[in-house]
Amino acid sequence: MTDLRHLRQDFPVLQRTVNGKPLAFLDSAASTQKPVQVLDAMNDLYRNHYANVHRGAYQLSIESTAAYEAARVRVADFIKAPSPDELVFTKGTTASINHVAYGWGLDNLGEGDRILLTKIEHHANIVPWQIIARHTGAELIYLDIDDDFQIDISSLDEVLDERVKVVGVTAMSNVTGTIGPVRALADAAHQVGAIVVVDGAQAVPHSVVDVAEMGADFVAFGAHKMLGPTGIGALWGRRELLERMEPAEGGGEMITDVRLHESTWAPIPQKFEAGTPPIAEAVGFGAAVEYLQKVGMDVVREHEVDLTRYALGQLGDIPDLTVYGPADPENRGGAISFTLADIHAHDLATILDQEGVAVRAGHHCAKPFMRHLGIPATARASFYVYTVREEIDQLIGALHHARKVFDVA
């Protein structure tokens, strides 16, 4: 087992108790805890270097700008982007996909065009395309899910033709940990001239990602799911697409010139970063990436596979408990959704919290997927670099306690 328990000392919140019990934080798929290295980097920026970026000729602005752009370089390097200019800072994964939907979709979609998504998608890769479809007259179509919770591409030859202009797919499901067949979809999509938009919110924090090897045209992800702060994420896009694409937001900083009736845009990536950006958050994003690089993303992945294998084995011994997701820990992420008898997920999560165990309960912003599964909600335990087996043991003990509380036979 890859044991990363020494990292826990970097996360102050993990030292606390909840309801008199040690905190077992098992909700990292929703948002991760922050190490002191990230907190210190942001604090140092605010204390010693802060000023607005790109706009000042004075020393503080120069320092702040350098820190902001250094973060861009580090994040771009993390996903092996060919150039940091292809890395746009946004508010997060959702905002990144909206940038593509509005900036590319409004100009390139019309009546008779199709947008191909999958039923496993997070709302962030469904709702923006629904809005754009209403504006443009394009049609939404979906790939189904097979019995092993995988995206079913057996019908791809039937649905993927020249009418499809966009393929949207998650690289890793936030509900079941299912790993999306991104490369296969990308290769097929490009054969018919479609672009591929990848929701990387779960995959980028948990696995080695190379955007070139993915074959995608756009990849969206957020800092807060990978040890960084909230309010910032990134959109990587192919240079030629970013240069042709319209900005989804207009205002200061993203322009070269503004006249009364027309404006010209700044070069990428500034073209897409209207207004004062989240400067300290970008610095925190860069620090989070540096932290993960020091751990090693191959080690992060190995650690999570170990934890997932252990958790699936333990959960399998609990009567009346159903796990949703691929059975092979090597072929999935570390987000495990489950139900226990007929106990509602919210009630179950409340009992687990009384035992110090933090899990997510609900539809996980994936209602179409929940309807496909035929259930209203699940509880979900999810892991990250700071998770240890003892927390999984605490979850198992809390689930046995829940069976007693709800008198499950």
Q: What would the pLDDT profile of 218-259 be if each residue is shown by its tens digit?
A: 999 999 999 999 999 999 999 999 999 999 999 999 999 999
Question: pLDDT confidence of 1, banded at 50, 70, 90?
Answer: low
10 Å CB burial of residue 16 (0-12, 13-18, 19+) is exposed
The 10 Å Cβ neighbour count of residue 65 is 18
Mean pLDDT of the 324-335 span: 96
Closest-CA residue to 310 (of 377, 367, 381, 257): 381
Segment 168-205, tens digit of pLDDT: 999 999 999 999 999 999 999 999 999 999 999 999 99
pLDDT interval class at 55 (50, 70, 90) = confident
Mean pLDDT of the chain: 97
- The pTM of this model reads 0.97
Closest CA to 50 of 135, 398, 150, 42: 42
Predicted pLDDT at 2 = 75
Give pLDDT, residue 358.
98
Which residue numbers are catalytic?
Answer: 365
Amino acid at 311: A
Q: Delineate the domains of the chain, giving CATH numbers in brackets.
A: 5-28+296-405 (3.90.1150.10), 39-293 (3.40.640.10)
Mean pLDDT of 358-386: 97
